[in-house]
Structure 1
Amino acid sequence: MTNPINSAVLGTIASLGNMGTTESRTGKGNWFEAFGEAWGKALDTQADAITAQSDVVSQGGDKPSDITQLTTESMRMSFMANSSHSSIDSVSKALETMARKN
């Protein structure tokens, strides 16, 4: 399984290049909006992984390994949600600081 953080967030950030505009699913926007959208996609992907593993458990997959995998996916979601909040908050504070200096 590919890491949702690497594939969605870092891939989008790398493709942004500079601080200009970029296309997003909602039309034209800036790189900060694309950054948030990438985090949203990564979190959606992780939520899908949790749902899939939850389906395994609900269909009788009550082996310790199945439950441990569900716990692992849930904890990964928690880590990703905290990381997305922290990174978006940090970037927005940096943008605010830059705006004040201009």
Structure 2
Amino acid sequence: MINITQMSKGILEGCVLMVVKDKPLYSKEIVESLREYGFNDLTGGTIFPMLVRLEKQGLFEIEKVPVSSAPSRKYYSLSEKGEQELIQFQNVWNEFRNIVDSIMKKGEA
């Protein structure tokens, strides 16, 4: 049987890369953006470890911005490696979607 958690994790990583593609965001903004797109059950506990892992892979450029009443915020934007990873994710996603769509259409007939 398909492990939906593992499948979602890979898709979510690609979506995180996409939401920071055009504008640097800090972790809370990333979570809020993904919720706006429909990841309603998403929590910081899911995103924070993922951000750390993706950062260690060199997919982000980080900018720490001081905040007067709190610790500095860490803003995430795509590194060159992150941009390449996003392109690869988009290509794999499009191929995967086409395959699944073909199978689903056959099932409708």
Instruction: Compute the TM-score of the two structures, normalised by the length of structure 1.
Output: 0.40
Q: Comparing both structures, which one devotes a greater share of its residues to helix?
A: 1
Q: Comparing both structures, which one devotes a greater share of its residues to strand?
A: 2
Structure of larger gyration radius? 1
